[in-house]
Chain A
Amino acid sequence: MANNVNNNVGPKRLVVGAHYGMRDWLAQRVTAVVMVAYTAILLITFLTGQNFSYEGWAGLFAQQWFKLISAVTLFALFYHAWVGVRDVWMDYVKPVGLRLTLQAATILWLIACAAWSVQIIWSV
């Protein structure tokens, strides 16, 4: 990469090769681990929980640390979904225009979901 900077811009940009997509590959795995960790926290909370009414549920989300890890996990989910859904479009949708439209729509949709989840988490 570093030895030929000119390959990173314009029509000669390198779009195939060993490290192309490495960042997304890694991001997908890191976000996956975040989600597994959050699942474990939820499971422990459920198994040790006593108050299964609205107060208990809302009380859990009322704490700042839980709001934050919930938000981080949902953002991880949306990034993870972006990588996965982009792979699906790349595999099955061959016309470039349609694929680009679908990819753009996916990004906008996931950003909307992220905004919505912030609203939900900080509503309690």
Chain B
Amino acid sequence: MSEAVRVAPKKERPEFRNIHVTELSNYRMPLSAIVSILHRISGVIIFVLLPFILYLLQESLRSEISYAHYQGFVTYPLVKLIILGLVWAFLHHMFAGVRHLVMDLHIGLDKDSARKSSAAVLALSLTLTVLVALKLFGVF
């Protein structure tokens, strides 16, 4: 018995590993993977900018004088850009999060629906971000 095992030809077994960082650029991510990594990135952005958000809330609330200062502060283009970045992060994180919650209920788990819902998340968050951008920079 043991001899029979020994002479059996060793079969090359395929090995599947996570791809390396350097291979990321030529790996075509499915739409849901893009939504997933953007969910993480947007979450980290909000976490990192927490003091900025709290600072804005503080200046807007503390007094009439600080409110005036806050109003002046948010007219700087760089501040507007940061706020726009936060708005995108918030919108994407929320819509992708709602998609997660729906999927937790075992709704839309198959490949086709998952692709459609991720497309919907991107369409919603990006459209609304563009609208906020136009409003923020005074187009309408």
Contacts and interface: CB of A to CB of B under 8 A. Distances in A.
**Do A and B form a real pair?**
yes
Interface of A: 29, 32-33, 35-36, 39, 54, 57-58, 61, 81, 84-85, 88, 113, 116-117, 120-121, 123-124
A88 B61 CA distance: 33
Contact of B98 (A36, A117, A124): A36
B51 interface: yes
Given A58-B61, A117-B54, A88 B67 contact: no
Nearest to B104: A29
Interface string B41-59: 0011011001100100110
B98 A85 contact: no
B54 A124 contact: no
Contacts of B104: 29
Given A29-B101, A81-B50, A116-B54, A88 B40 contact: yes
Contacts of A123: 58, 61-62
Question: How many of chain B's residues touch chain A, expressed as a range?
Answer: 20 to 34
B47 A84 contact: yes
Contacts, number: 51
A72 B101 CA distance: 20
Nearest to B65: A54
Contacts of A58: 61, 67
A113 B50 contact: yes
Contact of B43 (A57, A84, A116, A117): A84
- The 7 lowest CB-CB distance pairs between A and B, nearest first, are A54-B67, A120-B58, A124-B61, A84-B43, A54-B64, A81-B47, A32-B97
A123 B94 CA distance: 29
A32 B44 contact: no
